[in-house]
């Protein structure tokens, strides 16, 4: 993706939109709400905001700096800036491995969204009584065929787009669907908080129960924050390499982080009240939105069947598009690597990725049904892969990025990048604080959290 063209983004808004496009995805709308539900509600939200501002934003800045300075793809960036140091050359392979693993289970969720889109089109939610609608999910994921099929269809469609090259069409499309998703989530939020019994959900998000706070909360909040900002997988390094030398990276990075944060919080407030109104357990795990959102549609359907059907169709379509644009960028990393380094044709590389991600994804999908008993370190295949990526590999990669900027590069390099060679006096003034966060706070926080993870 990165090596052939070395264009720059058109301007500040284009950079923020592109980065926010990568950041805002299933991570915000599917993963964040169930993480909140599993890890103590309001407490998790607060820890999440703190982690994002104090740790993830500095990591984000460090990755943009690496990308913009090296002006190349994630694999070569570390090698180039370290002058081909063997250790840092090897590090470059991690951002190839991680997105490929994530694409495998990401497309399983993409498949679920596809199924829920079909269900909306066939008016299932409007026709099913509200108290039974959340039960549809369990039956669907436990069946051996349907979720495997939707996963393969979703992955296949994403791979096909990658095989044809990412055309401007899909990018333009996602620029429309992303704001649409924003509006739709607001509509659902308003409806969801007005449901009887929803107040409990709002209280759950606003009143922290500090007894829920544990090292585990920090570990999962930081992992979630990295995941949501597409950190630790070479994505932001690659995007950073397209940012013009004149751009103020503080504005673009903070803009991206804040819109991502806002979207996650909105999704939390749209989904949690519905969870309580439907009487679903907040810690229900990965199926949470697929159980709670249809309940909203079923309730809405009782009063306004037409509106409910249209909103549900558009809503799941927007999720599919948001998920697919993210999935495409995840697959593209592996494909670009196989094309440039293993000299495969683009088609062959796509076939390899379809094979690898398809197979791993099938195992993830079956882990909700027939393979539920197959456990790795006490987790199902799906949970293990998600945990390995979000709580181990992303942290490791992010740690390497901040250590690289803080300790391997001479101080003037991040300083030049952060101030765009002295162009922005405000940035110059706050640079010592940012440098301190990158050099000390972020690595220490990540190391502590990394080790807590092994005791969870």
- Interface residues with ligand PHE (CB under 6 A) are 22-23, 25-28, 228, 230, 233, 235, 326, 329-330
Closest approach of ligand PHE to the CB of residue 20, in Å: 10
- The residue among 72 and 326 lying less far from ligand PHE, judged by its C-beta, is 326
- The residue among 238 and 309 lying less far from ligand PHE, judged by its C-beta, is 238
Closest approach of ligand PHE to the CB of residue 390, in Å: 10
- The residue among 136 and 184 lying less far from ligand PHE, judged by its C-beta, is 184
- The residue among 188 and 328 lying less far from ligand PHE, judged by its C-beta, is 328
The SS3 of residue 24 is coil
- The residue among 278 and 393 lying less far from ligand PHE, judged by its C-beta, is 393
Q: Are 295 and 274 in contact (CB under 8 A)?
A: yes
- The residue among 160 and 374 lying less far from ligand PHE, judged by its C-beta, is 160
Closest approach of ligand PHE to the CB of residue 73, in Å: 14
Closest approach of ligand PHE to the CB of residue 61, in Å: 17
Can you tell me the distance from the alpha carbon of 206 to that of 214, in angstroms, rounded to the nearest whole number?
Answer: 18
Can you tell me the distance from the alpha carbon of 436 to that of 454, in angstroms, rounded to the nearest whole number?
Answer: 27
Taking alpha carbons only, the member of 180, 106, 148, 136 closest to residue 297 is: 136
| Burial zone of 84 (CB within 10 Å; 0-12 exposed, 13-18 middle, 19+ buried) | exposed
What stretches of 278-380 show up as alpha helix (H) in DSSP? 288-303, 305-341, 346-366
Closest approach of ligand PHE to the CB of residue 138, in Å: 24
- The residue among 233 and 395 lying less far from ligand PHE, judged by its C-beta, is 233
Q: Are 121 and 320 in contact (CB under 8 A)?
A: no
Closest approach of ligand PHE to the CB of residue 31, in Å: 7
Closest approach of ligand PHE to the CB of residue 235, in Å: 4
Kindly write down the DSSP assignment for every residue of 146-190, as one continuous string: HHHHHHHHHHHHHHHHHHT---HHHHHHHHHHHHHHHHHHHHHHH
Taking every pair of Cα atoms in the chain, the longest distance, rounded to a whole number of angstroms, is: 65
Can you tell me the distance from the alpha carbon of 413 to that of 397, in angstroms, rounded to the nearest whole number?
Answer: 20
Closest approach of ligand PHE to the CB of residue 408, in Å: 24
Residue in the shown chain whose Cβ atom is closest to ligand PHE? 27
Positive or negative torsion for Cα 437, 440, 441, 442? positive
- The residue among 70 and 107 lying less far from ligand PHE, judged by its C-beta, is 107
Can you tell me the distance from the alpha carbon of 335 to that of 13, in angstroms, rounded to the nearest whole number?
Answer: 28
């Amino acid at each position: 993706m990165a090596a052939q063209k070395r264009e720059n983004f058109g301007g500040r808004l284009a950079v923020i939109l592109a980065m926010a496009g990568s950041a805002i995805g299933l991570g915000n709308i599917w993963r964040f709400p169930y993480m909140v539900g599993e890890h103590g509600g309001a407490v998790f939200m607060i820890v999440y905001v703190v982690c994002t501002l104090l740790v993830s934003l500095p990591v984000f800045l460090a990755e943009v700096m690496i990308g913009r300075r090296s002006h190349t793809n994630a694999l070569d960036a570390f090698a180039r800036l370290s002058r081909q140091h063997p250790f840092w050359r090897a590090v470059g392979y991690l951002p190839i491995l991680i997105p490929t693993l994530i694409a495998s289970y990401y497309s399983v969720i993409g498949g679920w969204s596809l199924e829920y889109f079909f269900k909306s089109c066939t008016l299932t939610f409007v026709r099913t009584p509200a108290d039974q609608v959340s039960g549809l999910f369990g039956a669907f994921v436990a069946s051996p065929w349907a979720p495997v099929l939707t996963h393969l269809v979703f992955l296949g469609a994403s791979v096909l787009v990658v095989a044809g090259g990412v055309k401007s069409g899909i990018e333009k499309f996602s620029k429309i669907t992303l704001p649409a998703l924003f509006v739709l989530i607001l509509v659902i939020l308003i409806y969801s908080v007005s449901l009887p019994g929803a107040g409990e959900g709002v209280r759950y998000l606003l009143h922290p129960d500090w007894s829920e706070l544990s090292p585990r909360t920090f570990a999962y909040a930081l992992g979630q924050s990295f995941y949501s900002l597409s950190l630790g997988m070479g994505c932001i390094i690659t995007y950073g390499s397209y940012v013009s030398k004149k751009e103020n990276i503080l504005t673009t990075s903070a803009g991206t982080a804040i819109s991502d944060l806002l979207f996650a919080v909105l999704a939390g407030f749209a989904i949690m009240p519905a969870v309580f109104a439907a009487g679903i357990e907040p810690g229900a795990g990965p199926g949470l939105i697929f159980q709670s959102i249809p309940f909203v549609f079923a309730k809405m359907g009782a009063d306004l069947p037409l509106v409910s059907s249209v909103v549900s169709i558009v809503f799941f379509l927007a999720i599919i598009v948001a998920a697919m644009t993210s999935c495409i960028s995840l697959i593209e990393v592996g494909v670009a690597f196989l094309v440039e380094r293993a000299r495969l044709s683009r088609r062959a590389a796509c076939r390899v990725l379809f094979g690898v991600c398809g197979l791993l994804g099938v195992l993830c999908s079956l882990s909700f049904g027939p393979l539920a008993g197959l456990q790795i370190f006490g987790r199902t295949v799906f949970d293990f892969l998600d945990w390995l990526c979000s709580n181990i590999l992303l942290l490791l990669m992010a740690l390497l990025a901040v250590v690289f900027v803080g300790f391997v590069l001479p101080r003037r390099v991040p300083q030049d990048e952060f101030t765009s060679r002295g162009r922005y006096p405000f940035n110059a003034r706050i640079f010592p604080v940012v440098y301190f966060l990158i050099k000390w706070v972020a690595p220490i926080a990540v190391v502590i959290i990394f080790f807590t993870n092994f005791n969870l």
